[in-house]
Amino acid sequence: MVTVENLTKSYSEGKVKAITNLTFRVNEGEVFGMIGPDGAGKTTLFRILTTLLLPDSGNAQVAGFDIQKQYKNIRESVGYMPGKFSLYQDLTVEENLSFFATVFGTTIEQNYALIKDIYSQIEPFRKRKAGQLSGGMKQKLALSCALIHRPKVLFLDEPTTGVDAVSRKEFWEMLRRLKSQGITILVSTPYMDEASLCDRIALIQNGSILSINTPQAVTSAFGEKLFGIKSEMMYTLQQDLRSSSVVKSCNAFGEFYHLTLKDTSDDASSALLRSLKEKGHQSLEFEEITPKIEDCFIKLMSEGSN
């Protein structure tokens, strides 16, 4: 459904490289996640694929159309929801929706079935101006507007940024339902925990793809044992761990540090724990954990920079 070949784009006459040599495919009916921190190039990629920007080099097809030569066809067949809320704030919910329906040459009634799930939640507020909606409702309205013409491919640029945890969960459920309607979805997010909800993900960093695979395959490719550790003195624990000769890497995740060790035998780890206790660390918690996307991302990132 989406084919990207060697796509490169830079700003300020080549000084700032936004994306470099991206190549990937998105299959029909897939939820494809672009996972990466701010500034990784996700928005640039989406803007190129939605024909808002021209690439410096490389090629891409969306829904079977070339992004440069057939941009008009693409504009008719994709839905796009930018990262920033971009509807008319002084128009009501209903006015916004019917305006975008007309722009795409359709009506609300015609495609009501597709957006019913989402729109019915904000329908009680249809006379309210879009600018006065809460964050979660704005997002639902924006999604309804992006879907009103039944697009073949849906581009969602950081749809869950700045949205509360409950709304985020609801939003992903809505995406699953849209997928079942046969819509291909490209979604970008800086939240690693959302990656597992995608069919396939691309980890992207500094404009390059680190890895493309299913979330399970990405985590199982971690390839070594991962441990979580916690004590009462977290700051000195970090310094002690980083100076230790057996510790390969140590990164903070919430209230734990995630460790990889050069020697993963039980002897080596109990020796590490003993030495930490000698340095005065009380009530140490230490256990093996299964790696998450974020662990993989950090590992891939540090491998890439070495």
Partner 1 sequence: MKQLLSFIKKEFYHVFRDRKTLLMLFGLPIAQIILFGFALTNEIKNAKIVVVDYAKDEASRQIADKVDASTYFDIDKYLSGHEEIEEAFRSGKIKMALIFPDHFYSDLLHTNKAQVQVIADASDLNTATTLTNYISNIITDYQSGLNKGTTIPYRIVPEIRMLYNPQLKGEHTFIPGMMAMIMMIICVMMTAISIVREKELGTMEILLVSPFKPILVILSKFVPYLLISLMNVTSILLLSKFFLNLPVQGSIVLLYAISFIFIITSLCLGLLISIKSESQQTAMFISLMATLLPTLLLSGFMFPIENMPLPLQIISNIVPSKWFYVIVKSIMIKGSGFQTIWKETLILCGMALFLLIVSLRSFKIRLA
Residues binding partner 1 (CB under 8 A):
47, 50-54, 71-72, 75-76, 78, 80, 82, 84-91, 95, 98-100, 102-105, 145-146
- Looking at beta carbons only, is 47 or 299 nearer to partner 1? 47
Quick one: how far is CA 122 from the chain centroid? 25
Calpha distance 191→19 (Å, rounded):
20
Count of CB atoms within 10 A of residue 264's CB? 15
Looking at the Cβ atoms of 100 and 119, the one nearer to partner 1 is: 100
| C-beta closer to partner 1: residue 10 or 264 | 10
> Which CB, 52 or 298, lies closer to partner 1?
52
Nearest distance in Å: CB 94, partner 1: 12
Please answer whether residues 94 and 145 qualify as being in contact, where contact means their C-beta atoms are separated by less than 8 angstroms: no
| Phi, psi dihedral angles at 72 (to 5 degrees) | -65, -40
The nearer residue to partner 1, 160 or 269, going by C-beta atoms, is: 160
CA distance linking residue 306 with residue 294, whole number of Å: 18
Residue (87 or 250) nearer to partner 1, CB: 87
Nearest Cα residue to 220 out of 296, 301, 126: 296
Cα angle 267, 271, 276 (rounded to 5 degrees) comes to 150
Residue 95 backbone class (left: φ over 0; alpha: ψ -120 to 50; beta: rest) = alpha
Closest approach of partner 1 to the CB of residue 26, in Å: 17
CB of 90 to partner 1, least distance (A): 5
Query: Least distance to partner 1 from the beta carbon of 111, Å?
Result: 15
Q: In degrees, to the nearest 5, what angle opens at C-alpha 160 toward C-alphas 157 and 165?
A: 170
Considering the complex, state which of residue 102 and residue 181 has its C-beta at the smaller distance from partner 1: 102
Minimum Å gap between C-beta 251 and partner 1 is 35
Q: What is the H or E stretch that residue 118 is in?
A: helix 112-122
Closest distance to partner 1 from the beta carbon of 87 (Å): 7
Minimum distance, C-beta of residue 126 to partner 1, in the bound complex (Å): 15
Please identify, using beta-carbon distances, which residue of 90 and 232 lies nearer to partner 1: 90
Our CA dihedral for 108, 71, 2, 57, rounded to 10 degrees, sits at -150
How many residues are recorded in the chain?
306
DSSP, collapsed to helix, strand or coil, labels residue 123 as helix
CA distances from 88 to 61, 96, 111, 155 (A): 30, 7, 21, 20
Whose tokens are 């939820």? That residue is: 31
- DSSP, collapsed to helix, strand or coil, labels residue 126 as coil
Smallest distance, Å, CB 50 to partner 1?
A: 5
